[in-house]
Amino acid sequence: MINRFKKWFRGKSVSENHESNYEYKGLEKVIGFPISSEHQKLFLRALSHRSIVDNDKYDSIATYERLEFLGDAVLDLIVTEILFDKYPQENEGFLTKLRAKIVRGDTLYELALKLGLNQFLVIGERAVGQGIESSKSVLSDVYEALTAAIYVSYGYERAFDFVSGNLEKFIDFDDIVTKIDNHKSLLMEYSQSEKMELPRYEVLSEKGPGHNKTFHVAVYIGNDIYGEGQGKSKKNAEQMAAKKALSSFSK
């Protein structure tokens, strides 16, 4: 399988002059192992933005985009294996939600920043100064592409060690697990991603004596109610309302 991928990623990627000037030593420190000369072009491709295609020296497939496509799948498998071993008592739903929180763009962007991958990004001359090096989507894609380059060049185990080492060093699993069941937080993230107004919560009614009240809460986005919930505390009722709202968006 690895040999097949190596065939697919052969070909002209960068000029010899550009390749010889690339700072491989710095990248080697980031990934934790030396890059052999036979694999240097592939790693350089993993860090090359599509803006370099404007230069006649480069092929249209000389960027990280194909590697990012492969890296997405490799990363998904690696994180799945890590979570499967780390949480042996949890069900499929929990593992799926946790994996989605880890492999999403925001988390990969943070990993890329912590590793300093923006320092190694190769961009075209016309794109200099446009903020590409700090783009969230670009850096998250580059992390996936770099994972793929490690996988293609050195195999699954090396790629696994790279990703698991990053997660262990930079990711707070307990914090992410807490946020998985925080429906209010998830609804906030969803509304922001969809450029909607922020959710707000209102108590519609309170029933029962002071020591045993039941709260009925609605969550509004704009002027519309998106979910209602009940609970023995306002906080629980708000979580239930947010959960109902999230369910309505998934239909």
pLDDT digits (tens, 9 = 90+) for 220-234: 999 999 999 999 999
Q: How many CA atoms lie within 13 A of 8 on its CB side?
A: 13
- Percentage helix, strand, coil, to 5, in the chain? 65, 10, 25
pTM, entire model: 0.69
Given a cut of 60, is residue 133 above it in pLDDT? yes
- 73: nearest Cα among 15, 11, 136, 159: 159
Given a cut of 70, is residue 14 above it in pLDDT? no
What's the rounded mean pLDDT across residues 65-89? 96
Q: Please, what's the b/e burial string for 103-140 (b: 16 or more CB within 10 A of its CB; e: otherwise)?
A: beeebbbbbbbebebbebbbbbeeeeeeebbebeebbb
Annotated catalytic, 228?
no
- Predicted pLDDT of residue 118: 92
- Predicted pLDDT of residue 21: 57
What's the rounded mean pLDDT across residues 128-136? 77
Backbone angles phi, psi at 172, to 5 degrees: -95, 95
What's the rounded mean pLDDT across residues 119-144? 83
- The residue ranking higher by pLDDT, 245 or 126, is 245
**Span between the terminal Cα atoms of the chain, in Å:** 39
Taking the C-alpha atoms of residue 126 and residue 130, their distance in angstroms, rounded to an integer, is 9
Annotated catalytic, 175?
no
Catalytic residue among 68, 133, 141, 144: 144
Catalytic residue among 19, 72, 110, 189: 72
Give 29-66 pLDDT, tens digit per residue.
999 999 999 999 999 999 988 877 765 555 555 789 99
What's the rounded mean pLDDT across residues 159-186? 89
Domains of the chain as residue ranges with CATH: 2-180 (1.10.1520.10), 185-249 (3.30.160.20)
Taking the C-alpha atoms of residue 130 and residue 51, their distance in angstroms, rounded to an integer, is 11
Taking the C-alpha atoms of residue 48 and residue 114, their distance in angstroms, rounded to an integer, is 19
